[in-house]
Chains A and B, each alone.
Chain A
């Protein structure tokens, strides 16, 4: 039966069902509700887990790292500036191939100071070597969280579950939570073959010189590329348990015959789908929900783009001075197609700007009939607010 739950409370209960043995976190809006919920379950004696309150996000990530290496299933959550403060340790966790899971409750980065939703925080960790899975709904966030532990532990890679802050985390809606039996049957007891064991002493994280570092990096890259199969398998296997898919690496939705595609990450998808269905006068679109951003599923993406004339890549972050972040990667992946679509790259919804139903018309009107891609643009920017020199 569906329960009326706020996204973050549902995530707290889902993480608890995964039986983490150590959770370390420093509270930061909007993930606070998640770790608060877990802390309450621990305090109420409903979850056997060590909840470590730390003095910074750097320490939160460090505690999670240490706990996972010492043989505990570990979890943390953060967002925004917290992710930046964790950055050093996040690279360590990935480079040392440590399986743990964190939720990123996606949020803008300062400055100027802004507490609201966009995806600049997780995008800033794109190259850290973590698996990144983006969730379009709270139900996907619940199901992806369970899958993430299995993917992490099988691939020996950390997984960041990216959930739009506020837009998902603070929305109450009907959600199906799995049962303890379902999760227990899906997730084996935690084990990490490179963990530290006093009876078989060894070191982790020691100096690696030029004679080996390159190969370590190569192996890390290969592990991420190969994780694609595990991400798809975890989704298929979990769907066999609960009857719900999250879309594997990516999911094609909307009108399969449309010549116009729109690629999205995260929770904007439903608004665009509603906008298209509400107005039959508007052009039809095939939606590509990119769930796995790292590893980047180039082959699956090419297949999803077959038959498209135009592809809009819509992002909630940007690389100032260049343009989009995901857009250029999509373009690179599609170069190998015999007839690739024209790729148009836009950002929108930065720092919590509301993405309204009219976004769909705005996007489709911007590209249809275009002979070649227009320049990257923040499509919902109101240039009238700016002096002439900044437009």
Chain B
């Protein structure tokens, strides 16, 4: 089972990101589960959401404590206690940042992409979630990018969907396709 934890701030579309990723996995024929950690629902507060993906039906409903992947929507959260908590050895982190880059100096590789900047360019809103998902799917090759577009098409139509499509394509180009494929497939997903 692949376990992913998404960290962000209230208003950044954390839960939506978790739902989109799980929906894309389900549409691709896998089992998946997504749910938020419920906390104070106010803008700016640190929040988390969880995604599980597996080939088998998923029974457990506890929070994800030892994720393989972290998706972090605000680089400042990397300094907040708890964000990196429980990350598995060999697990990796995808984080929003000023520039695209890879930091493999520590135990856990960190890939940054300018998700917020790309979102501003393409959809005019500082919401990094869709760009991060596009990068994550490209890095892990868990599913084709079209799975994310399909999941987005459940929420958006017309010109807004087209802008999101362009955002997905631009974000995918900022990372190395398949870089985390081994990590993703090493845990049964």
Contact = CB atoms under 8 A, between A and B. Distances in A.
Bound together:
yes
Contacts of B60: 270-271, 274-275, 357
A268 interface: yes
B61 A167 contact: yes
Interface in A86-124: 115-116
A268 B61 CA distance: 7
A174 B62 contact: no
Interface stretch (B23-31, B75-83, B119-127): B23-31
Contacts of B63: 354, 356
B134 interface: no
Interface in B31-83: 31-36, 38, 58-63, 65
B23 A171 contact: no
A166 interface: yes
Contacts of B65: 356
A270 B61 contact: yes
Contacts, number: 69
A108 B101 CA distance: 45
A171 B59 contact: no
Range of interface residues on A (Cβ < 8 Å): 20 to 34
Nearest to B30: A174
A173 interface: yes
B59 A273 contact: yes
Nearest to B21: A172
B19 interface: yes
Of B19, B62, B63, most A-chain CB atoms within 10 Å: B62
Contacts of B151: 4
Interface string A142-181: 0000000000000000000000001110111110000000
A310 B36 CA distance: 35
B58 A356 contact: no
Among the interface residues A170, A172, A267, A275, which one has the most CB atoms of the partner chain B within 10 A?
A: A172
B33 to A, nearest CB: 5
Contacts of B23: 4, 172
A171 to B, nearest CB: 4
B23 to A, nearest CB: 4
Given A274-B60, A354-B62, A355-B62, A4 B35 contact: no
The list of the 4 closest CB pairs from A to B, nearest first, reads A270-B59, A4-B23, A4-B26, A171-B35
